[in-house]
A and B are shown apart, each in its own frame.
Chain A
């Protein structure tokens, strides 16, 4: 009896990218396990292929891979011998798209890069354009940007903590951290009018000022969550299961971390004190008092400690910013460099013309100008390298995404660990595919 479904008909089965899968497998077979070669560990070859050797494909549609990440691993029993990561399943070509957009038009695309901390991306883009076009930003806008960047950092780390714990089997923390993210969404909603993709920063300043309600909400959040995060630390820092799942997993030494090019908490977890907020202070980070947590161990537990301590440092920064928030304009007054205020647009002819011209052309940096500006996003160094051809659109917009470089390190980090640790490792690296795939 024949079954007349397309799935049983061999001719009707369509295979996506046959050559791609072929080269992927060929790479897996031919590659050397970098870390074990480097550390001089002999990988014992087991003869019985039926019992031990196995090629396993995880993803791209797998809930534990935090997005569309595809890992092809070669297993020896339950241990990963070597691994090849395949990314690009969320590739939208935003670098190419940027070339046909004006600088301000590109802003909503940055929201969708690291969608867990959209505000940090907005600020990174704005600051890169401001450096390229030499635009000064008023003080108040800089302080507000700092507050919102730190809130974005907390929001991103909250998701990492909740999901990371859920990967390790503790579901309740996920619900608690999402309560925190819900509070943050309400703040973003009050500040910008959007909960998720905020697009609130503007070239030369901000779209709107903080309302008194928003300031009260941020202050309330900062006071409440200091205690709550310390409570989570009490729960987890001495938690037997959490420590057993994380200690000595994915160990990366200082030299290896630099060679692999890791950024952000993953780099600092290996003992490299590289944080853009200290390395080349932007906004007003050189005027506030904070420390960057650093650990020497380089394992998943160290990365966990760093992220949680970073959240507490962020709250410290937010409190200082709120105390020192100066009065003043929130956007630069130069109509060639930033949008005029809505009052001007509605009630003056020049304002309307400027608004139109800014939407049509926007800011035009000088021809041949090229600059790179990076900020410390929750995931690491998020930089934009921009080149201008003298028009309102960038000639080349290069996005240096922290998740991309961290994923490259993950490929080596997985070697030698059991399959069950893949999930914990991906969680501790904290990749966002929207950013890694550009």
Chain B
């Protein structure tokens, strides 16, 4: 039943062509960055900065709009003999799958073809995880309200917060307390932001943690490269699970 539902949800997603455009957009960016820079390592780095902005934004906004647009569909399903959990997970899976495939086609394939070093692999992997994190956050935001505008507002706020505001806030703290040892606090602050976690994975892997200054050097020292990456990827998974479980619980107790 789960697969049947997911299949129908994916048909529904493909009927409007947004996901297609998203894949195409990423494809164009990836190719142009690689053709601008002769060094694939640098191209991956520039791509990283774009991916960290665009992927969360598109994932969270698309998911929120999709959820509200399929409200009628969900309503119809709820009057049929189908478990609510199955409805939730099949919708979740369908969005994750569609966006992941778009990302895979737009960034994954060309990066691996053009300059497939280890850093590139991690860029693809953490981009996928980031997609799921923001899909989960979008579900959490849209299950909590009936109002579409409010849902999209909350979703945008999440993006602003994790993409822009949080970093400013972190810089402020680090700057203000620069007289004290900051390593552990920085680590904790990074863990609380999925975008930073994704960035850390790639920077550690690209072996340019020196770019992250003193803290980067510390992180590298503290974890070693591989442990640091495992830690960040694990935490990213937690970032998928927590909003997803929250959204599921709200959905199970929701009146339609």
Do A and B bind?
no
Chain B residues packing against A (C-beta within 8 Å)? none
Chain A residues packing against B (C-beta within 8 Å)? none
